[in-house]
Each structure stands twice: as structure tokens, then as C-alpha cells.
Amino acid sequence: MSTVTRFIGRYAIWLYSALAFIFLLVPIVYTIVYSFNDSRRSNIVWRGFTLDNWTHLCDAQGVCQAFGNSIFVGLTATLLATVLGTMIAIALVRYRFRFRTATTLLLFLPMATPEVVLGAGLAAEFLTAGIQKGALTVILAHTMFCVSFVVVTVRARVASLDPALEEAGRDLYASPSQVFVRVTLPLLMPGIIAAALLSFALSFDDFIITNFNSGAFVTFPKFVYTAAARGIPAEANVIASAVFFVAIIFVVASQLTTAARAKRLAREG
Amino acid sequence: MAFGAFGGTATAVAEPAVRKRSKVALILLLPGILYLALFFLAPLVSLVLTSFQAPVEFGDIGQYQTAFKWENYTTVISTYGEHIIRSFVFALVATILALLFSFPLAYFIGVTLRRFPLVQALALTLVIAPFFISFLLRTLAWKQLLSDEGWIVTSLSSLQLLPPGTHLTGTAFSVIFGLTYNFIPFMTLPIYTSLEKLDLRYVEAGGDLYASPASTFFRVTVPLAAPGIVSGMLLTFIPAAGDYINASRDFLGSTDTAMIGNVIEANFLVLQNYPAAAALSLVLMAAILILVSIYVKKSGTEDLI
């Protein structure tokens, strides 16, 4: 009896998980497939396969402009948030100071606040201060919500850093700044890169906060939202699919290299 | 910290030489803290101020002046009470559904696939894959799939599982469905992080002590996965309660399914009723903070945050 139930139990979870993965992938596959749809006006009914949407990407009004804006905002906000967040992460792990708990809380709260509240708050502030909404306000907003995620990601890396390596640098008469640039920073790099990628992904796909603070400035998600009422052009599917492929290739490649390195270490160790 | 679950690798090798207060710490902290003060705290203050504003007499739409009109709060609560309750009900149902969906999947990835690290990594990639395709487009994809002409409705109708003339889109069902789908990765990842470290010897011990598989599951496995479950529920519930894409008319909802986020958006960006939008935002935030602190206290995991 128990072997039978265990047998069923073992394969039930394989079957369930296979179905769960299919469920998770359904809308992704749908979006990619419809990027090849020969749709003239609305991209809802399948009208046959074509590569036109991929080769004439910028034909649809405003898609490429919105995509470019999203890349620009993503890169700027990522740079700002990564610098600010990395500095805070180092301070939090390495130093004891008054208001440390308050600082941690200040970093935690933006992640626990619904986006609609963050967006409305910033919009109210910009309204009161008389700041015109546009690219700048979107960058300021995105940097704000990315900082906390950078701190969380980089802090783990700082905490796992072996202080002996920095001590070795100091023993070899390196100045504090030399130790930082040539020992600390390279060791923190994987964490910093992960944080930067996370920031870019969060900024690139953000809609709610952007919608409150962008005015006439159009990012890619905002383009999709505005177009949703009258039908999304297939070119939007092309951009989303291309971004998806780049991200997936990147993640899988990094996993394969990590696995290969682990194997090599295991063999040598 | 609950959200540390996303960071994943918080393993300290050695407690580093912690230095006392110094100028360096101040220089490192100041820019970031100032930034958050300016663009996180100040906006909250500005929401509070806006929420008490009164319309300018004989002014245009969207013109308000500083006042202490706390009636704004009673007005929004009585006008939009239905939306507020709906938001929390939808978010709660979606969170529970996401938990039921995610637990077996997280168990499969974290425990069953343990012997195959590469497959495990690839399975995790599949879980986060929805993040890599635009949030709005994947929601629109479900709208098309669940539409009256989509294969889901047509095949269910032809099997007579759906009464004729049933619509799936624009209903509470489709909104909760969308919320569940969109936040599943936020639930699966933290539970996976807890289960990945699960020591199977405890589960075996449960069996050795003549516990049935069910009681082993509920009295050994689930308690050991509790930190992940709590993180996952918070990470799903908070964004779901404030979301307004899924419930939007152009996506999976209709005017009958409008949530608090839709009302805040409409008041702020369309009606230019800034005080109402600000008051609603603060009501939402207060309600979430209260619910989350009760939940965290009840589940006995205060040290998580």
C-alpha cells in the first residue's frame, strides 16, 4: 500500500509540475506567436504567418520611440539606483551607527508600499512643487523604487565577503582607496551586476508608477496600456518577445557557466 | 527581512570587522537616505497634505488649496467602500490560490529536483519567465485567451461545461485569475527558498514515528516552510491589493470589478480629484500595514521583517 501511494505520489508531482509550467508559459507563447501574425489592424485574430512585424519593427506609430524611452529611463535609473544602493549596502554591513534600524525600515518600506501609493505620492509631490511631468520625473521615480532592491541584493554579497582578503590588501601596503577599487569592488561585482539587472528589469516593466508621473512622456508599458483600448500593434509583441529572448538567453547562459564552474571546483577540490 | 527571500544567498561567511561610527559611513549613507527622504518620505507627507485639501472657491477643476478637510476621508470611504472591500477580497483569494498553486511546484523544484542541480536551475528560470515578458502584454494575452471567441470558452461551451452565453472576461473570475497568474512567481520563489533547505531527515522521522503522510506534511513540512509561505503571501497580497491593471476595463475587468487602484487612478489622472485620490491611497496603505502586522504577529514570524 505504502509503496503504491509513494509511487503515485512521486509521479503525481511530476505531472502536476509539468502542467503548472505549461500554465505559466501559455501567455508567453501566445505573445510570441502573435508577434508573427499577419495582422493588418487588430492583432486578435490569427491571419497567417509573417516576418514583416519583425523586419519592419518601427512602422507602427510610436512603438520604437516608446521602446527607446524605456531603455533610456531604465539605464539612467539603474545607474543612479545601483550607485546609491551599493553605498548604503556597504555602510549597513560594515558600520554600526545610530538610526541603523530606522535606515533598514526606510529601505524596507518602499518595497512594502503598493505601487499605486508610491505613484500617487510622487505625483502629488511634483504637483505641489510645480515640477512638469516628463522623462525626468519618471527617472526620479524609478530610481526611488530600485534603490531598496539594490540594497537587498548587494548587502547579501557584502555580508558574504571574506574580510581576510581586504586585510591582505592592507598588509601589502595598499591605500584604503586601492583596497576598495582593486579588492572590494571586484569581489562585490557579481552582486552589483545582479542588482543592476534587477533594477533595469523593474524599471523597464514598470507601469503603475510611470503612469502617474510621466505626463506626455511614453514608455513601452505606457504605450501598450494606451494602445490596449484600440488594439495592440503586432510590433509591440515583437519588442516584448525580443526582450524575453535576450533575458532568457542571458539567465540560462549564466546558469550554465555557474554549473560548469561548480563542476570544475568539485573536480579540483 | 521578508523580501530577502528574493536575494537568495544571504549566507554570511564570517562576521566582518565591524567598525564604529565614522565619517565614511555617513558619506556612504547620506546620498541614498536623502534620496529616499526626498522621493519616498516627502511624497507620503505630500499625500497627507493633499488628502486634506479643499477645492478653491470659484476655481477650475483640479484647483485645490491647503485646508483641514478631514471629511475627505469619510466621503471616500462611504463612496468607495465597496471598491476597498473588493480589493482586499480579490487580493486575499488570489493569494490563497497562488499559495495552493505554488506549494507543490516549489516542493517539486526544491526537493524532488534536488539531485539535478542544472534541471533545478532551469525549472526556476521557467517560474520567473513571466517576469521577462511585459506585464501588460501577458495580461492582454489572457484576455484574448479567455475571450468569448477564444478556444477556452468555445471548447468549454461545446463540452457543455459552461452554460451558453457565459462570459469569462470582465468578471470577478477573470480579475482574480489574472491577479493569481501575475503574482505566482512572488509566491513560488520564497517557498522554494525555504523548501530547498528542508532537511528530509525530519520528514523521514515523522514517518518513523508512525505519523501519516498527511500529518507529517502538516506538522513537519509546512512549519519548516513557514518563513517562505509568510514572505510569499506578503509579496503576493500587497501588490495584488493595489493593482489596477488586471481589474482595468481594457484588460481583464469591467466597471463592476473596479478595485481601489482603479479608483485612485481615475480620481488622480482623469477626474483631477487629487484630495480623494490621496485619501484613498492613505486608506489603502494604512489598511495594508494593519493587515500585514496582524498577519505577521499571528504567524509568529516577527523576526522575518
pLDDT given for residue B11 in this prediction? 42
| Contact residues on chain B for A213, CB-CB shorter than 8 A | none
B97 touching chain A per CB within 8 A: no
pLDDT given for residue B151 in this prediction? 81
For an interface test with B, give the residue of A113, A200, A202, A249 to mutate (most B CBs within 10 A): A113
Kindly state whether residue B98 falls inside one of the protein's structural domains: yes
Kindly state whether residue B47 falls inside one of the protein's structural domains: no
CATH number at residue B216: 1.10.3720.10
H or E element: which one contains B103? helix B71-110
Residue B95 has pLDDT above 90, yes or no: yes
pLDDT given for residue B111 in this prediction? 92
Name every residue whose Cβ is closer than 8 Å to that of residue A65 and which is 6 or more positions away in sequence.
Answer: A218
Kindly state whether residue B151 falls inside one of the protein's structural domains: yes
Interface of B with A in 163-192 (CB under 8 A): 181, 184
Q: Please report where in the chains the cell 489592424 appears, as a residue.
A: A41
Residue B301 has pLDDT above 80, yes or no: no
Phi, psi values for residue B301, rounded to 5°:
-125, 45
**Confidence (pTM):** 0.88
Residue B67 has pLDDT above 90, yes or no: no
Instruction: Give dist(CA B216, CA B213) in Å, integer.
Output: 5
Kindly state whether residue B53 falls inside one of the protein's structural domains: no
What is the C-alpha R_g of chain A?
24
Stated length of chain A: 269
Kindly state whether residue B109 falls inside one of the protein's structural domains: yes
pLDDT class for B102, splitting at 50, 70, 90? very high
Q: Which of B25, B137, B145 sits opposite A26 (nearest CB)?
A: B145
B58 touching chain A per CB within 8 A: no
Residue B299 has pLDDT above 80, yes or no: no
Q: Which of A115-124, A247-256, B154-163, B294-303 is predicted least confidently?
A: B294-303
pLDDT given for residue B15 in this prediction? 45
List pLDDT tens digits, range B190-236.
999 999 888 889 988 988 898 888 888 888 899 989 989 999 999 99
Chain B residue with CA closest to A222: the answer is B136
Q: Quick check: A27 and B133 CB within 8 A?
A: yes
pLDDT class for B21, splitting at 50, 70, 90? low
Under 8 Å between Cβ of B233 and B95: yes
Q: Which of A68-82, A230-244, B160-174, B268-282 is predicted least confidently?
A: B160-174
Chain A residue with CA closest to B143: the answer is A27
- Listing DSSP states for B104-153 in one string gives HHHHHHHTGGGG-HHHHHHHHHHHHGGGGS-HHHHHHHHHHHHSTTSHHH
pLDDT class for B292, splitting at 50, 70, 90? confident
| Contact residues on chain B for A85, CB-CB shorter than 8 A | 32
Which candidate, B51, B104, B61, B90, places its Cα nearest to that of B283?
Answer: B51
Q: Tally Cβ neighbours within 10 Å of residue A152.
A: 23
Q: Quick check: A163 and B142 CB within 8 A?
A: no
Instruction: Give dist(CA B305, CA B300) in Å, integer.
Output: 11
Looking at the DSSP assignment, which residues form a beta bridge with residue A27? none
B190 is in which domain, residue-wise? Answer: 78-271
State whether residue A38 is helix, strand or coil.
coil
Instruction: Give dist(CA A92, CA B25) in Å, integer.
Output: 8
Share of chain B above pLDDT 70, in %: 91
Q: What is the pLDDT along chain A (269 residues), one digit of tens a residue?
A: 567 777 776 789 999 999 999 999 999 999 999 999 988 767 777 888 988 889 888 887 888 999 999 999 999 999 999 999 999 999 998 888 888 889 999 998 998 899 999 999 999 999 999 999 999 999 999 999 999 999 999 998 898 888 899 899 999 998 888 998 999 999 999 899 989 999 999 999 999 999 999 999 999 999 999 888 877 888 899 999 999 999 999 888 888 888 888 888 888 75
| Contact residues on chain B for A258, CB-CB shorter than 8 A | 121
Under 8 Å between Cβ of B230 and B3: no
Kindly state whether residue B44 falls inside one of the protein's structural domains: no
Distance from CA of A93 to the nearest CA of B (A): 8
Under 8 Å between Cβ of B273 and B267: yes
Look over chain B and give the mean of its residue pLDDT values, rounded to a whole number. 87
Kindly state whether residue B160 falls inside one of the protein's structural domains: yes
pLDDT given for residue B66 in this prediction? 83
Q: Which of B16, B138, B139 sits opposite A163 (nearest CB)?
A: B16
H or E element: which one contains B64? strand B64-65
Distance from CA of B163 to the nearest CA of A (A): 24
Under 8 Å between Cβ of B68 and B54: no
Q: Quick check: A258 and B121 CB within 8 A?
A: yes
| Cell numbers for B236 | 503576493
Residue B303 has pLDDT above 70, yes or no: no
Interface of A with B in 60-119 (CB under 8 A): 84-85, 87-88, 90-91, 93-98, 103-104, 106-118
Kindly state whether residue B276 falls inside one of the protein's structural domains: no
Which candidate, B149, B168, B169, B177, places its Cα nearest to that of B93?
Answer: B177
Query: Could you tell me the residue ranges of all domains in chain A?
Result: 1-60+233-269, 68-217
Residue A229 amino acid letter: A
pLDDT given for residue B2 in this prediction? 39
Q: Which of B21, B101, B121 sits opposite A95 (nearest CB)?
A: B21
pLDDT given for residue B302 in this prediction? 53
Q: Which fold has domain A68-217?
A: MetI-like fold (1.10.3720)
pLDDT class for B14, splitting at 50, 70, 90? very low
Interface of A with B in 169-198 (CB under 8 A): none
Instruction: Give dist(CA A112, CA A122) in Å, integer.
Output: 16
CB pairs under 8 A between A and B: 296
In chain B, how many domains are there? 1
Under 8 Å between Cβ of B3 and A151: no
State whether residue B37 is helix, strand or coil.
helix
pLDDT given for residue B19 in this prediction? 54
Q: Are strands B64-65 and B54-55 parallel, antiparallel or unpaired?
A: antiparallel
Tell me the CA distances in angstroms from A42 to A21, A236, B12, one per residue in order.
29, 12, 54
Residue B107 has pLDDT above 90, yes or no: yes
Any idea what DSSP says for residue B56?
Answer: P
